[in-house]
Amino acid sequence: TDKDPVLGNYNGAYAANESFTVGDPSLTPAPLTPPVSDVGHLDHVFLIYLENQGDGAVLGNPNAPYINSLIKTEDFDSNYYSLSHPSDANYIRVMGGSGFGIDYNPDTDVVHAPSLMQEMDQAGISWAGYEQGIAPGTVITPQDSVGATPFGLFSYVYDNTHAYLQEHILPQADLSSALQDPSTFPAFAWVKPDGAGPSPSLSDELNPILESIGIHPSSELDTVIQFIGGDILNLPYNLSNEDAYLQQTISTIENSPTWTDPGEKDAIFITWDEDNNEASLGIGNEGNNVPMIVIPNQGAVMDGGMQPGPFTTDAYYNQYSLMATIEDALRTMPGTLAPLTANDKYAQPMNAFWE
């Protein structure tokens, strides 16, 4: 899943669906048991997903002073991992419990399977995506739902009604006003900076030019273009831009009634979709070890048992751990938000962030 589009080799790969037979009939595998979860209930879970930075690119980087201040003062896991390249499967896993074999960045719905959105709807748990790239007053179309968040990549959302899309896919400009009332703010909010990839504007401009001269861009070439735009040029997913975006967004959340209400147990989970090897060229390859920062509010610490910062753990977690943690934190009663696949069922929840 990490193929070099130029050389054709793999920077990292794995074999799936392999099997073998042991001849001794007395040997039987022990039954799998889902890990015990220490995750407590949260009233509001914020997920902020940033793009294409590994631990080594962020820690101590002078271009990210705010992010590094959070690492030093809040909760931080130094051993959190993304699971593939390029971006979109790393989004899909958190909402679907699988990457569904997707090794490219699709531009329409590609997942026809149950999702966490569907489960939240069935359980009466509110959710929304707040996207910086959506202008206030936009009439949301199915294609808009495929933007910066993963929701529209699932047919359950993409094929839903106009009213449904308008309720769940929102401009980030609406975030501040929505946060004024904790009773109506969504229980789960995915907050995302402008654009679906490191440099959608550069890719959008170059691809028609390449087409006009007979070059048909592949998903691999598009990823290379995004890498150039996001990391070599000063475009949206340059680390300093992410730092400024995060500082403004966290300030909006932390200065809101939803966050400061002593009766509300809230937490912000900040992570990156993958390391800087998104083009699978071996450049910026950190094995997909990406930062995971968790910020609990006072209610989550005092009444919800979350670790107060500064706190650091080296417990191994990945995107399925994040999904299992979201399920456990938002589950309102037994049986709701049940695991969707064996991946989130047997993933280790992020217990270290609870005392």
Instruction: Give me 200's structure tokens.
Output: 């959608």
pLDDT < 70 stretches in the chain: 1-17, 20, 22, 195-237, 276-286
Of 153, 115, 336, give the one whose Cα is nearest residue 169. 153
Give residue 85's pLDDT.
87
Give burial (CB, 10 Å; 0-12/13-18/19+) of 301. Answer: middle
Give residue 305's pLDDT.
98
Q: Is 29 helix (H, G, I), strand (E, B) or coil?
A: coil
Give residue 197's pLDDT.
37
Q: Are 128 and 47 in contact (CB under 8 A)?
A: no
CA 318 to chain CA centroid, Å, is: 11
Give residue 170's pLDDT.
97
Looking up tokens 């500064």 gives 310
Instruction: Give me 22's structure tokens.
Output: 């042991």
Instruction: Give me 329's structure tokens.
Output: 């934190």
No. of helices (H) and no. of strands (E), the chain: 14, 12
Instruction: Give me 24's structure tokens.
Output: 């001794």
Give residue 352's pLDDT.
99
Give residue 292's pLDDT.
99
Classify each residue of 324-337 as buried b or exposed e, where b means 16 or more C-beta atoms within 10 Å of its C-beta: bbbbbbbbeeeeeb
CA pair distance 239, 261, nearest whole angstrom: 32
- From residue 146, alpha-carbon distances to 97, 154, 205 in Å are 18, 9, 19
Q: Where are the domains of the chain?
A: 45-197+236-353
Identify the architecture of domain 45-197+236-353 in CATH: 3-Layer(aba) Sandwich (3.40)
